[in-house]
Structure formats: structure tokens, C-alpha cells
Amino acid sequence: MKLLYFSRHARRRMRLHNITQEQVEETLSEPEKVAPGVKGRYVARNPGILGFVCI
């Protein structure tokens, strides 16, 4: 997997929602579903772990 950079904003949001970096990495490496998002981004979904992660 690529090296991930978590911005200060992302780390704060992760703390707010009690999400670990490992959970984000697992969702990105094995998403249940990937959907198009806004501005050319994607939304990775894994309901068993987090719900969704926007990338």
C-alpha cells in the first residue's frame, strides 16, 4: 500500500470519531464498495469497520 499522509484536520476528525489509522488503512486496502465522489475523488466504503472514507 502507498504511504499515507494524514493531515492535521484528518487526525482531528479521526480522534473525534474514535477511528484509528489502522482502520482507515484497512478500509482503503479492502473496501467493500468504491463510489465516485466530488471533484474527481472517491468514496471507499466498508460498513463493518468505519462506514465510509473519502479519498
Q: pLDDT tens digits, residue range 18-38?
A: 888 988 888 888 888 898 988
Q: pTM above 0.75?
A: no
| C-beta separation of 43 from 34 below 8 A | yes
Nearest alpha carbon to residue 55 among 43, 40, 39, 46: 43
Cβ-based neighbour number of residue 46 at 10 Å: 19
Confidence (pLDDT) at 51: 63
DSSP state of 12: H
Q: How confident is the model at residue 8 (pLDDT cuts 50, 70, 90)?
A: very high
Q: Is the pLDDT of residue 52 over 90?
A: no
Confidence (pLDDT) at 55: 62
Grid cell for residue 32 = 467493500
The torsion of the CA quartet 19, 25, 29, 34, rounded to 10 degrees, works out to 40
Could you state, in order of their start, the residue ranges of all structural domains in the chain? 8-54
Q: Is the pLDDT of residue 6 over 90?
A: yes
